Amino acid sequence: MKFTITPQQDHVLVQIAGELDSMTAPDLRPSFDALAEEAPPRVVLDLSSLRLIDSSGVGAIVSLFKRVRAAGGQFEVRGVQGQPRSIFQVLRLDRVFKID
């Protein structure tokens, strides 16, 4: 898994590529914690290069979503496709946060 967190003009872009599972999700937690502490007004999560996600990966994303929203920020997910999109639909996360 590869991930980047890049501040943009009006949002923070988080890109995750590869596999987000029980082996890789713990690597995201410290960065997600630091991002949530900054309380950005808008976070855009780009998953267009994510091939696989499991419950640990979903948990990391949902945790970030909750913390961003609790601080009054907006949360958006882009580029979800394949297996990750199926998981998001089964869990009805496409109804929880905006998915493009």
- Residue 94's pLDDT is what? 86
CATH number at residue 8: 3.30.750.24
**What's the CA gap between 10 and 1, in Å, rounded?**
26
For the segment 52-76, what is each residue's pLDDT rounded down to a tens digit? Answer: 999 999 999 999 999 999 999 999 9
Which residue range is the domain that position 79 belongs to? 2-99
- Residue 49's pLDDT is what? 97
The phi, psi pair for 78, rounded to 5°, reads -125, 150
Residue positions counted in the chain: 100
Confidence of residue 77 (pLDDT cuts 50, 70, 90): very high
What are 81's two structure tokens?
Answer: 């496709």
Q: How many domains does the chain have?
A: 1
- Residue 100's pLDDT is what? 76
Contact between 16 and 2 (Cβ < 8 Å): yes
Does 26 have pLDDT greater than 80? yes
- Residue 41's pLDDT is what? 96
